[in-house]
Amino acid sequence: MSFETPDDLYYLESHEWIDPSTGKVGITEFAQDELGDVVFVELPEESEELSQEDEFGVIESIKAVSDLYSPASGTVTAVNETLFDQPELVNDDPFGDGWMLELEFDEGDLDALLSAEEYRDQIE
């Protein structure tokens, strides 16, 4: 099976992505497939400060509980509260409506992340 890995995003080995143009953060299509049906998401409050690779929340599928890690340091400027009622959006559209946070982040942090190509190598 092959999974979508958009070229314009940066990735953490733990399967989170960040969009450098918007600061949006979520988990990859590969990650949602591994988890299966997502039933619960716990996210931080707006204006919370995160450091790169900090735990920022928890995602639960029917069968598993996983921590979520921040791809970059920065301030949370928006939280996708729609996921509280519709956590399945993470399965349906992990790079779109299934986004989790928006970060005002430190551009320098992108250097430590995986490119789409590097991330593809990791999951293949």
Helices (H) and strands (E) in the chain, counts: 4, 9
- Please identify, using beta-carbon distances, which residue of 66 and 73 lies nearer to other proteins: 66
Q: How far is the CB of 37 from other proteins (least distance, A)?
A: 5
Instruction: Write out the residues near other proteins by the rule CB under 8 A.
Output: 1, 36-37, 39-40, 58, 60, 62-63, 65, 84
Distance set, CA 70 to CA 1, 2, 62, 63 (Å):
27, 25, 23, 23
Q: How far is the CB of 122 from other proteins (least distance, A)?
A: 19
- Please identify, using beta-carbon distances, which residue of 36 and 96 lies nearer to other proteins: 36
- Give the Cα-Cα-Cα angle 48, 116, 82 (nearest 5 degrees): 40
Burial of 98 (0-12, 13-18, 19+ CB in 10 A): buried
- Please identify, using beta-carbon distances, which residue of 82 and 84 lies nearer to other proteins: 84
- Please identify, using beta-carbon distances, which residue of 36 and 108 lies nearer to other proteins: 36
Q: How far is the CB of 18 from other proteins (least distance, A)?
A: 24
